[in-house]
Amino acid sequence: MSLVASESSVSVIIPTMASLARESLLKRAVESIRSSSVQPIRIITVVNGSKFDTGVCEWLKSQADIQFHYSETPSAPAAILRGRELVKTEFFSALDDDDEYLPGTTDQKLAVLQADMQADVVVGNYYQHCDNADSLRYDRLADVPADPLEALMRFNWLHNGNALFRSKAVGLQYFKDYHAFAEWTLVAYRLAMDHKKVAVLDIPVFRCYGETPGSLSKSDAYFASYIPLFKRMLAFSPPRHVARMIHRKMGAAYHDASVAAKQNGFYQEAWKHHWQSLIMNGGLRYLSYTRHLIL
């Protein structure tokens, strides 16, 4: 084990394809991790898939503070799971290879967990970078500690780069059987259902690039992933009031799927999704949409 690894109390997992096109972004992510703490950090890179560049991989292997691992499976959630398996430090976090931590923020998150030994995870705010401008992502992050599960029904307070986890409290089970396109939502849900204590650091701790807020709700990936996700959530037998909120979200997702199917000329699918939206909690709000399927 290297000197860096032996001194580290924090590991950061980076899932990456290590492609030549993203080399500069990956190196930016690595440098941002280093600048986020005055202490050494163990960086775990999990290169996944077959699009890697040999030179980029060699650079990763040459870095004293980076633990390199390769996985044939081209999947970021699977890479996060593999990275979690490799964590040997007291705390861990994650970062996409095209995002960046803000200076000093690992130390700030770590201070929160060290001050509150009962906290299992701390989540921070973050900047969404779009059209060459930053916007602060959360405006109600302070609501999370009181009821993480209900807060999750209003917004996903867990992102790939905004958290620091206490390793002994957040084990492999939270990352197994992940849900594509919504893996962090499911992790947050599992943590909340297990009554894990969530602390908050309501300052921006990282910058997220390339994502448009709300864009998934208008994509095919949303229709393919979020309705099954809501079904999985219900299978955990949440409290009744939370189940009602999930059903309401399912109704909205079915309605969006119906609109998309109609626009694509799939009227049978549109009717099926519309019917599903009507029978969900709050579904009567979509009743007037019926005329659009009749006309």
pLDDT of 26 over the 70 cut = yes
> What is the spatial distance between Cα 226 and Cα 230, in angstroms, rounded to a whole number?
6
pLDDT tens digits for range 73-113 = 999 999 999 999 999 999 999 999 999 999 999 999 999 99
Q: Pick 264 or 212 by higher pLDDT.
A: 264
- What are the Cα distances from residue 42, in Å, to 67, 248, 266? 7, 42, 50
Pairing of strands 10-16, 91-94: parallel
- 145-158 pLDDT tens trace: 999 999 999 999 99
Largest distance between two CA atoms of the chain:
71
Segment 261-280 shows an average pLDDT of 84
**Which tens digits make up the pLDDT trace of 6-21?**
578 999 999 999 999 9
According to DSSP, the residues that pair with 134 across neighbouring strands are 129
pLDDT at 130 over 50: yes
Q: Specify the DSSP class assigned to residue 125.
A: E
Residue 193 has pLDDT above 90, yes or no: yes
What residue type is 288 in one-letter code? S
- Residue ranges of alpha helices (H) inside 13-75 are 23-34, 54-62
* Spatial CB neighbours of 117, under 8 Å, sequence gap ≥ 6: none
Question: Which pLDDT band holds residue 224 (cuts at 50, 70, 90)?
Answer: low
Q: Considering the entire predicted model, what is its pTM?
A: 0.89
Confidence of residue 213 (pLDDT cuts 50, 70, 90): very low
Rg (CA), the chain: 21
Would you list the domain boundaries of the chain? 3-209, 215-294
Give the residue-averaged pLDDT of 219-245.
86
The answer to whether 96 touches 29, Cβ cutoff 8 Å, is: yes
Residue 216 clears pLDDT 50, i.e. is over it: no
In contact, 48 and 76? CB cutoff 8 Å: yes
| pLDDT score recorded for residue 214 | 39
Q: Is the pLDDT of residue 71 over 60?
A: yes
> Which CATH number is 3-209 given?
3.90.550.10
The CA distance from 110 to 157, in Å, is 18
Judged against a pLDDT cut of 80, whether residue 219 lies above it is answered with no
As a whole number of angstroms, the distance between CA 207 and CA 137 comes to: 10
Asked if residue 72 has pLDDT above 70, the reply is yes
Q: What is the mean pLDDT of the chain?
A: 91
Residue 3 has pLDDT above 70, yes or no: no
pLDDT of 221 > 90? The answer is no
- 244 burial via Cβ count (<10 Å: 0-12, 13-18, 19+): middle
